[in-house]
Amino acid sequence: MRVALGVEYAGDAFEGWQSQRHGRTVQDHLENAIGRIAGHPVRLHCAGRTDAGVHATAQVAHFDTHVERSVSSWVRGVNSSLRVPVSVRWAVEVDDHFHARFGAMARRYRYILHNCAIKPSLLAGRVGWYHVPLDVGLMAVAVRSLVGVHDFSTFRAAGCQAKSPIKIMHEAEVRRDGEYLVFDFHASGFLHHMVRNLVGALVYIGKGHYSPEWLAQTLASRDRSLAAPTFMAEGLYLCGVDFPPHWPLPNGGRIIALPRVPLI
């Protein structure tokens, strides 16, 4: 039997999603908790392997088991044994053709940037920060050039293991909400550090270092050395995974839970 899960977590408490020998990852903690309910070791597969410090409001994962348990056991039972900031939001049985990673049609990321002279303390680890005022109008113009089919090699980390740098960017937007800038990206897939590299480039434009046209020119160059440095991980959230509608997942397979701009 295969079980799909909807998972959320605060990434600043973990060394990323993917299992490591030290055991301080989201996958390690979840597999241990699920294994206690299943009574046997399990292996989780996720829709997006997030880095250290990156959060998720709507990660999707699956595992296989030979035991019968209620949905409540896979949700409340697993959550009751977790002592770290990760929780299972829902669980559904799926057939063996479902795969959280290879079956996903698209993913959504949101980056929340606190644009204020004073470094945030209460939200430390949950939002990015940049102290110089940014021109969101320039950034909004620049980000439009990302929509469509592109080779995103310019914004790809050196250790990226993706088979192809060509992705379809369905949506790319930047807006201001008070002291916060909100970046939304919806694409067929994402390269390693792609969103953080895009945010870094947009910040350069927002502070007037480059014109909006520079983003399109840099994208076309396919040269990572011409782009801005990778931005901090703290404000990045995996907030949606799109699956074909025939899978019996909540919301018809379109799992979206956007983190709101923090209000204090």
Q: How far is CA 253 from CA 92, 234, 245, 258, in A?
A: 11, 27, 5, 16
Q: How far apart are CA 217 and CA 174, in angstroms?
A: 19
Query: Alpha helices of 1-151 — where are they, by DSSP H?
Result: 26-38, 71-72, 78-80, 136-143
Query: Alpha helices of the chain — where are they, by DSSP H?
Result: 26-38, 71-72, 78-80, 136-143, 194-206, 213-221
b/e map 187-212, b = 16+ CB within 10 Å: bebbbbbbbbbbbbbbbbbbeeebeb
HSE-CB of 239 using CA atoms within 13 angstroms: 17
Amino acid of residue 233: A
Amino acid of residue 9: Y
Could you confirm whether 12 is annotated as catalytic?
Answer: no
Sign of the Cα torsion 230, 231, 232, 235 reads negative
- Give the three-class secondary structure for 34: helix
Token representation of residue 132: 């110089």
For tokens 């979206």, name the residue: 256
Identified catalytic residue from 12, 51, 135, 151 = 51
The residues annotated as belonging to the active site are 51
